[in-house]
């Protein structure tokens, strides 16, 4: 069973046990939503996050819920709602465990809105934040995406290559996304062989989900 499908099954099974604490149940709702987001099932994700929030979770889980809500709204193109959720998460003074994800989403939101100076400011601030070891490549992925959306493809490639260097080699959710944007950036500057190689890495890493679908679509359209 593929990764996100397995995560959905596991979370749904866990939520059937009524004796779990509100903290555990709300976290299960958030994790279930995260899997839905990865599969492009954004309305289902928002429903799970609302269910989790209604359980009055502790701060760390509440911050994760706001972060995931922001991600779902961003993917749906609902930028005002996404920014509102990010600001609510930041107002909770999140820990090192959750702060990186809020910064990353805020930078990408600003970039999607064409606010590139604000996006770069947030992303650069993020690179100076002391993150957990597993998160050390995420600031560079974020910068890479911002530069890609800003049409600065060489800068995007530099940051994304740094993200590859800094990423854990196994069990890292963002590695496929790094290779996707590397492929897209190489395609933009006419380096088709390098682009295809990066997109094929996405297919090798990811069995399902939105990132894999984007790579397949790009290959079908241009190669």
Query: How confident is the prediction for the chain on average, in pLDDT?
Result: 91
Over the stretch 17-37, which tens digit does the pLDDT of each residue have?
877 788 899 999 999 999 999
What is the per-residue pLDDT across 79-98, written as a single tens digit (0 to 9) for each? 999 999 999 999 998 887 77
pLDDT above 90 coverage of the chain, percent:
73
Q: How far apart are CA 63 and CA 104, in angstroms?
A: 14
Tell me what pLDDT residue 2 has.
Answer: 84
Claim: this prediction has a pTM higher than 0.75: yes
| Percent of the chain residues topping a pLDDT of 70 | 94
What pLDDT is stored for residue 219 in this prediction? 95
Rounded mean pLDDT of 143-154? 97
Mean pLDDT of the region 9-24: 85
- Averaged over 200-218, what is the pLDDT? 94
Domains of the chain: 1-93 (1.25.40.10), 95-223 (1.25.40.10)
Long-range contacts: 170-178, Cβ < 8 Å, 24+?
172/134, 172/137, 173/38, 174/137, 174/138, 174/141, 175/137, 175/205, 176/201, 176/202, 176/205, 176/206, 176/209, 176/211, 176/212, 176/215, 177/141, 177/211, 178/137, 178/141, 178/144
Q: What average pLDDT does the segment 53-78 reach? A: 94
With contact defined as beta carbons under 8 Å apart, do 97 and 78 qualify? no
Model confidence at 134: pLDDT above 60: no
pLDDT at 131: 57
Q: 54 pLDDT exceeds 70?
A: yes
pLDDT at 6 over 60: yes
Average pLDDT over residues 59-75: 95
What is the reported pLDDT for 147?
97
């Amino acid at each position: 069973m593929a990764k996100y499908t397995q995560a959905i099954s596991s979370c749904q099974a866990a939520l059937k046990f009524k004796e779990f604490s509100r903290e555990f149940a709300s976290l299960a709702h958030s994790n279930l939503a995260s899997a839905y987001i990865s599969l492009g099932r954004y309305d289902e994700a928002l429903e799970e996050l609302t269910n989790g929030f209604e359980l009055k979770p502790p701060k760390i889980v509440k911050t994760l819920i706001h972060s995931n809500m922001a991600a779902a709204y961003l993917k749906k193109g609902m930028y005002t709602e996404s920014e509102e959720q990010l600001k609510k998460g930041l107002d909770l003074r999140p820990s090192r465990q959750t702060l990186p994800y809020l910064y990353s989403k805020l930078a990408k939101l600003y970039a999607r809105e064409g606010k590139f100076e604000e996006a770069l400011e947030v992303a650069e601030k993020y690179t100076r934040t002391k993150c957990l070891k597993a998160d050390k490549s995420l600031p560079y992925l974020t910068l890479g995406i911002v530069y890609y959306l800003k049409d600065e493809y060489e800068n995007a490639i530099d940051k994304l290559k740094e993200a590859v260097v800094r990423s854990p080699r196994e069990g890292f959710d963002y590695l496929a996304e790094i290779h996707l944007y590397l492929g897209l950036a190489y395609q933009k500057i006419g380096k088709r062989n390098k682009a295809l190689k990066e997109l094929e890495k996405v297919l090798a890493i990811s069995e399902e989900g939105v990132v894999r679908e984007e790579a397949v679509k790009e290959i079908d359209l241009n190669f």
